[in-house]
Amino acid sequence: MELKELQKRIRDIRKNSRREEKKGLIAVWKEKDRFNKEIVDSFVMIFRTKGCRWAYHSGCSMCGYFNDTNPKIREEELLAQIEEAKKKYGGEQLIKVFTSGSFLDDWEVPKNVREKLYDTFSSAKRIIVESRPEYITQEKIEELSSRQNVMVALGLESANNETLIYRINKGFTVEDYVRAAELLLRNDIPVKTYILLKPPFMTERKAINEAIYSVKFASKYSEVVSVNPMNVQNYTLVEYLWRRGEYRAPWLWSVVEVLKRTVEVGAEVVSYPTAGGTKRGAHNCGRCDKKVMKSILNFSLTQDEKYLNELECSCKKKWRKIVENEDYVWDYTVNS
């Protein structure tokens, strides 16, 4: 698909979304995670902001985060969300902040809101915030350096520019990621990177190989690389393709394969598949999904490969066949 056509489709599909003018946090919960090679409790909060600036301009083909944003949200309402989160905070060591966009974008999260968040949770050992690379500037480096406990998560998705441009419409390139990651690292700010498993317009085999390549690439810059298997979100191009039978979320076997083949890359490689085991998320045959999901989570928390090695189910054969043969069918369909 041509880039202009891709961007138009993404925008057209999104127009059907009905956003409500809610003002509170989107969600808060607690979960286990890894920090300093140990399993710790983490506190997760999703802020309701105006959303991602890129999503107003164009947006990524799989991203439905805009569904929960409020374009009219005011600064005092963002500050009130921090108060709301504070009441639920129980002293967890690790804090994960999501905004459906970029925490470091001044337009989305003003500086004093960020400062208030750092101050409120200053006792946490680590606060992870997300940002697109273009907001990693010298000014932000100074802000983050003065805090010592902040890690920046960058959603690279793929280390292949062709995928970033024509499959995801990411709006930045691998080189932009490298610039941002190097600037963070030069200033001792730890980096986490997200890699997307199975963007649209790609076979299962290619998706596995590209994710492995991307994890290896990102591990040069990251303390943690998180493999995020696609989940089909509302009002996205991926959902449109999925409804037409032209997209299937990856197999959980593919997640296992990527994790197995990247165990020694240097960075910790983890995966917590959103909607895993459902039709919209990474899934297998239905019978083994729970077991495989549990093993993926156990591996992610412990980094112990044994959890990935003992998995079996009759559907693994079907998955193997797809991995081996889908490319031929795909080439035939696309080129005939």
252 binds Zn ion (CB under 5 A): no
Query: CB-wise, 60 or 94, nearer to ligand SF4?
Result: 60
Nearer to ligand SF4, 121 or 194 (CB): 194
311 binds Zn ion (CB under 5 A): no
The neighbouring-strand residues paired with 42 are 31, 94
Contact criterion met (CB below 8 Å) for 220 and 257: no
In the sheet with 268-270, reading across from the earlier edge strand, the strands are 27-35, 38-46, 94-98, 126-130, 150-157, 191-197, 224-229, 268-270
Tokens linked to 5: 């056509």
Nearer to ligand SF4, 179 or 261 (CB): 179
From the CB of 60, what's the least distance to ligand SF4, in Å?
3
Task: Tell me the backbone φ, ψ of residue 327, rounded to 5 degrees.
Answer: -55, -40
CB of 312 to ligand SF4, least distance (A): 35
Q: Between 314 and 333, whose beta carbon lies closer to Zn ion? A: 314
- In the list Zn ion, ligand SF4, none, the entry touching 313 (Cβ below 5 to 8 angstroms by class) is Zn ion
Strands 38-46 and 27-35 turn out to be antiparallel
Q: Binds 59, which of ligand SF4, Zn ion, none (CB < 5 to 8 A, cut-off by type)? A: ligand SF4
x/- track of binding to Zn ion for residues 262-301 (CB under 5 A): ----------------------xx-xx-------------
Verify binding: residue 219, Zn ion, rule CB under 5 A: no
Give the start-end residues of each E strand in the chain: 27-35, 38-46, 94-98, 126-130, 150-157, 191-197, 224-229, 268-270
Binding site for ligand SF4 (CB under 6 A): 52, 54-55, 59-60, 63, 65, 100-101, 132, 155
> Which CB, 52 or 82, lies closer to ligand SF4?
52
The count of other CB atoms within 10 Å of the CB of residue 278 is 15
Q: Is 315 a binder of Zn ion (CB under 5 A)? A: yes
Buried b (16+ CB within 10 A) or exposed e, 233-270: bebbbbbbbbeeeebbbbbbbbbbbbbebbeebebbbb
Tokens of residue 330, six digits:
């795909």
Which listed residue (313, 319, 322, 323) binds Zn ion by CB under 5 A? 313
63 binds, among ligand SF4, Zn ion, none (CB under 5 to 8 A by kind): ligand SF4
Q: Which two tokens stand for residue 95?
A: 């804090």
